[in-house]
Copies of this chain bind each other. A is one copy, B any other.
Amino acid sequence: MFSIGALSQHTGVKVPTIRYYEQMGLMSAPERTEGNQRRYGRAERERLGFIKHARDLGFSIGAICSLIELNNHPNRSCAEASEIAASQLVYVREKIASLTRLERELARISDGCSGNGIADKCYVLASLADHARCETDH
């Protein structure tokens, strides 16, 4: 049995965030001391670890809710959990692709401008003003 602060230290999730997760229904309401303070056990620590890990992987609160639900129905869990993970993977890959396009554009803009102020107009500012200079869509 440990306090919210101890749970926070064990998992690396901040105290107010733990309370927020409880409010959002990710964590169920724990036991309380006589003085109304939260006391957690091993199961709760594991669940919070699960949540943190999923959040670190970019899963939304909603998706994690679904995953937790699935965990409670082991017979139909695997296919649906796979689907959630797969769609998260698609989402991440799309983000990478779009950021990579931006990176190319930014690198081009950054390179074009030596930063010495010699050019009569700053290449960075000019590039931002004029989308036609771009090589990729965004």
Partner-B contacts on A (CB < 8 A): 46, 49-50, 53-54, 56-58, 67, 70-71, 74-79, 81-86, 88-89, 92-93, 95-96, 99-100, 102-103, 105-107, 109-110, 113-119, 121-125, 128-129, 131, 138
Out of B76, B78, B83, B99, name the residue touching A92 (CB < 8 Å).
B99
Out of B54, B103, B117, name the residue touching A93 (CB < 8 Å).
B103
A79 to B57, CA, bound (A): 37
Out of B89, B115, B118, name the residue touching A107 (CB < 8 Å).
B89
Out of B46, B83, B88, B124, name the residue touching A115 (CB < 8 Å).
B83
Q: A54-B128, A92-B99 are in contact. Are A113 and B82 (CB under 8 A)?
A: yes
Distance in angstroms from A62 CB to nearest chain B CB is: 15
Out of B57, B81, B115, B129, name the residue touching A106 (CB < 8 Å).
B57
A112 to B57, CA, bound (A): 16
**Does B50 contact A81, Cβ atoms closer than 8 Å?**
no
A123 to B137, CA, bound (A): 38
A119 to B116, CA, bound (A): 62
